[in-house]
Amino acid sequence: MSRPGPVSPSRLSIDRLSLVTKVARLYHEDGLRQPEIATRLHVSQSRVSRLLKEAVALGIVRTIVVPPAGVHSELEDTVRDRFGLADVVVADTSSDDEYSILAALSGAGAAYFETTLTGHDRVGISSWSSTLLATVDKMAPRTVSTADVIVQVLGGLGTASVQMKATHLVERMAAVTGASPVFFSAPGIVASRGARDAILEDQFAREVLDEWSRLTVLIAGIGSVAPSPMLKDSGNAISATEIDALSEAGAVGDICLHFFDAQGRLIETGFSERTVGIDAAAMRAVPRRVGIAGGARKYEAVRAALRGRWIDVMITDVDTARRLAAEPEV
C-alpha cells in the first residue's frame, strides 16, 4: 500500500492554515522556543512540533541558503558533479595574477586541511610545489594530533635551496598536525633507470616505499609541461629535449612528475624511468588525493588531471572553476 502524499494547502481549512502559519512565524520570525509557543497558544509541545513540520511540508516555511560574497558553493557543486569528484574547494581571488592566485589557493588549502584531516591520517605530500609550501606555512598548529605521519613522496634533493624547501614542507606540516615526519632523502630525478633502481633498493628507501603503500591522503600540486620556477632552480630541471619529447607524446601536465595527456592518460617515457618517487599505481590507490592548482597557465593540466581521475579533491581558483564548470560532462 502506497503512502499518501503531502497534503495540499487547498485541502486544509483556513483556520488550520492560520494556526500552522502562526506557529511557524512565532518560531522562525519571533524566535520563540517550542515550549514558549505551546504555553502562549495553550497547546502541547508535541503539537507545536507537528505543526512546524507541517509548515515545511506545506511550503509555508522554506529554507534558502544565501552564500556570502566570495563563497562559491554552487560552483563547487557544479565542478564536483561535472568531473565526478568527492569534493571541490573554490578560492575567491582578487585578480588573475599568479601572486593573487597563490595567496588565495594557499589560504583555501590551509583551511581545508585544518578541518578535514583526522587523527589517524597518513599523509603523503609532494616536495616540489610552491603552492604547497605557501599552504603549510598558513596552517595553524593544532592542540591535538590530526595526522599520524607526514610522508615525502618525491625526492627533493637538488640544489641546497630545494633541499631546504622539501625538508621545510614535510617538517612544517608534521609540526602543525602533530604527526611524525618521514623524509625521502633522494634526488627527484637521476641520470638513469639503473640509478633510480639502486636508490629504491636501499633499505631506507624501502621503508619509505612501505609508508607510501599505507597512505590515506595524498597532497600534490599539478604542474604544466614547462618546468616551474622551483623545478628550474632545483638543479634537476628537465632538459629542452625532454620537454619536446613529452610535448610530442601529448603531455599537458603532471602530478609528482607522472605526466599525462589531455585526457589524463599516463604517458610513459624515458624520463619516467629516471623519476624517484611514488609510482603512478601507488598514487592512484590512495583513498583521498587532493590536488591544489590554478591560474590560466595550468588550466589544461588541471582539466586533464580531473579527466584522468588522478585526484578526487580539487582546490582551485574561481576563474579556473568557472572554466571547468563550462566543460562538457565526462
* Interval 261-282: pLDDT, tens: 999 999 988 778 888 899 999 9
Q: What is the DSSP letter of 141?
A: P
Does pLDDT of 5 surpass 70?
Answer: no
Return the pLDDT at 129: 80
Average pLDDT over residues 119-148: 90
Q: Which residues pair with 165 in a beta bridge?
A: none
Return the pLDDT at 10: 57
φ and ψ at 316, to 5 degrees? Answer: -145, 175
Q: Which of 31-45, 186-200, 229-243 has the lowest mean pLDDT?
A: 229-243
Grid coordinates belonging to 89:
574547494
Q: What is the DSSP letter of 9?
A: G
Cα separation, 167 vs 192, in Å, equals 25
Q: Backbone dihedral region of 159: left (phi > 0), alpha (psi from -120 to 50 degrees) or beta?
A: beta
The dihedral sign for the CA sequence 146, 150, 153, 158: positive
Architecture of the domain delimited by 73-325: 3-Layer(aba) Sandwich (3.40)
Q: Which residues contact 236 (CB under 8 A, 6 or more apart)?
A: 158, 162, 187, 188, 189
> Where would I find the H helices in 58-159?
73-83, 98-116, 130-138
Cα separation, 148 vs 88, in Å, equals 24
Does pLDDT of 227 surpass 70?
Answer: no
Give percent helix, percent strand, percent coil of the chain, each to the nearest 5.
45, 15, 40
**pTM: predicted TM-score of the whole model, two decimal places:** 0.82
Cα separation, 325 vs 81, in Å, equals 9
Pick 243 or 299 by higher pLDDT: 299
Q: Which of 36-40, 139-143, 192-196, 232-236 has the lowest mean pLDDT?
A: 232-236
Cα separation, 32 vs 23, in Å, equals 9
Grid coordinates belonging to 145:
594530533
Return the pLDDT at 2: 43
Q: Which of the four pLDDT bands, split at 50, 70 and 90, describes residue 79?
A: very high
Cα separation, 312 vs 44, in Å, equals 49
Domains of the chain, by residue range, sit at 13-57, 73-325
Reduce the DSSP state of residue 248 to 3 states and report it. Answer: helix
| Mean pLDDT for all residues in the chain | 88
Residue 301 contacts residue 223 (beta carbons within 8 Å): yes
Q: How far from 66 is each of 31, 81, 89, CA to CA, in Å?
A: 20, 21, 17
φ and ψ at 60, to 5 degrees? Answer: -70, -35
Around 201, how many Cα atoms within 13 Å sit in the side-chain half-sphere?
Answer: 6
Third-level CATH fold of 13-57? Arc Repressor Mutant, subunit A (1.10.10)
Does pLDDT of 220 surpass 90?
Answer: yes
Which amino acid is located at 225 in the chain? V
Around 252, how many Cα atoms within 13 Å sit in the side-chain half-sphere?
Answer: 17
Residue 45 contacts residue 51 (beta carbons within 8 Å): no
Does pLDDT of 234 surpass 80?
Answer: no
CB count within 10 Å of CB 29 equals: 8
Average pLDDT over residues 241-255: 89
Around 179, how many Cα atoms within 13 Å sit in the side-chain half-sphere?
Answer: 27
